[in-house]
Structure 1
Amino acid sequence: MPKNRQNKKNKGDLSSCSPLPSSSPSPNNLQFLSAARSAPLPLPSELEAYESILPGAAQRIFLMAEAQSNHRQRLEVKALSIEGRNSLLGILAGWFLGTLGLLTSGLCIYSGHDAAGATIGGISLASLVGTFIYGTRERRLEREHKYLAFQNQRKSQKK
């Protein structure tokens, strides 16, 4: 394994990287070093550096991370609440339209228009059943997608 590759134990630690050559680059030789890291908090060594520059900075960073986490959780709760409300409204609207279609079908049949009543009733039932099947399938696919995303996230964290 090359010396400048990170292994699992020092992930995020750039101290094991080989240094750049000390000679100045020639006009035709461009060198670029980049390090990227994604985490809610900086490394402990970075926190120490912040703290040495500005006393209390580490605590402020932790407070910001906690505030951001709380904000995200509140947004998720609100999104779930709105999703539940919209789902209930959709169910009620579907029930109302289905009932209206079946009542219209019954009135048509009662008034002697059997073919029209049967057609309206059949369309009403078919649309309700189709909507139910579609909604159930979409929710199942969404759950599977979230599960796979969660599994991939866990695998990447173990690396």
Structure 2
Amino acid sequence: MTSKHPDRDVGTPGGRTTPRAPEDTQPQDTIRDIARASADDLLRPDEADRFAETFSRQFVNRMMSGEAGFGLATIEMIERHHAGPIPPAETLAGYEDVVPGAAKRVFDMAERDQEAFIESQRAQQISDNRFRLTSYIGGFIALVLILATGSILAFHGHEASSLAAFGMGAVSIIGVFVNAWKQKK
């Protein structure tokens, strides 16, 4: 199927023509092609051509004249990401405009949040240190008990039992100290 218009492709659903956009096309030509494609189903071919020609000429003239309320619009999308308790300055200023004193409240909230985080970290460190100290003390007491048990068994002539107590105790204590050392790193 060939088109009456060499600058158009034919074969879209419903027999509509779609504008082709060569690189050297002027804006008025593109506008004319779009207007023609829009009018194809509504007007006879000769009326659609006249409509497209008139529309594109008037559109470009109005746009170039700077007529109020007429021209091209540019849409710009800005995407911003934020992390943290204090919003960006523009957002904070907007809060302040809506609720006077909001900026101070946001800063106070952020300071309280930071203080709570620091206190939580400090409490966790103290807890970890207490656990380690308790583990070391428990390990030392176990070592003393194992040595005492092995010594008593050896003194009463139970050398095999004494060696078993010393061996199990030594392995257990070494395991405790190795685990504590790994956790420190």
Give the TM bin, normalised by the shorter chain.
0.5 to 0.7
> Hey, what's the Cα distance between the residues in 2 that align with 1:88 and 1:127?
17
> Hey, what's the Cα distance between the residues in 1 that align with 2:127 and 2:172?
25
SS of residue paired to 1:95: helix
Matched to 2:139, the amino acid is: G
1:34-60 Cα offsets, whole Å, 9 max, x none, are 754212210000010000001100000
Partner of 2:76: 18
Q: After TM superposition, what 4+ stretches of structure 1 lie above 2 angstroms from structure 2?
A: 17-20, 34-37
1:98-140 Cα offsets, whole Å, 9 max, x none, are 1111110000000000010011011111211122112212322
> Hey, what's the Cα distance between the residues in 1 that align with 2:87 and 2:156?
76
Partner of 1:63: 108
Greater CA radius of gyration, 1 or 2?
Answer: 2
Aligned ranges for residues 2-151 of structure 1 at < 5 Å?
Answer: 18-19=76-77, 36-140=81-185
SS of residue paired to 1:82: helix
> Hey, what's the Cα distance between the residues in 2 that align with 1:84 and 1:130?
19
SS of residue paired to 2:84: coil
SS of residue paired to 1:38: coil
% identity of equivalent residues: 24
Q: Specify every segment of 5 or more residues in structure 2 that has no aligned partner in the other structure, as ranges.
A: 1-74
> Hey, what's the Cα distance between the residues in 2 that align with 1:19 and 1:70?
37
Q: Specify every segment of 5 or more residues in structure 1 that has no aligned partner in the other structure, as ranges.
A: 1-16, 21-33, 141-159
Q: How many residues align?
A: 111
| RMSD, aligned α-carbons | 1.8
TM-score, structure 2 as length reference:
0.56
> Hey, what's the Cα distance between the residues in 1 that align with 2:149 and 2:165?
7
SS of residue paired to 1:48: helix
Q: Which structure has more RCO (C-alpha within 8 Å, separation ≥ 6)?
A: 1
> Hey, what's the Cα distance between the residues in 2 that align with 1:80 and 1:138?
13
1:71-114 Cα offsets, whole Å, 9 max, x none, are 11111111111111111111111111111111100000000000
Matched to 2:76, the amino acid is: S
TM-score, structure 1 as length reference:
0.65
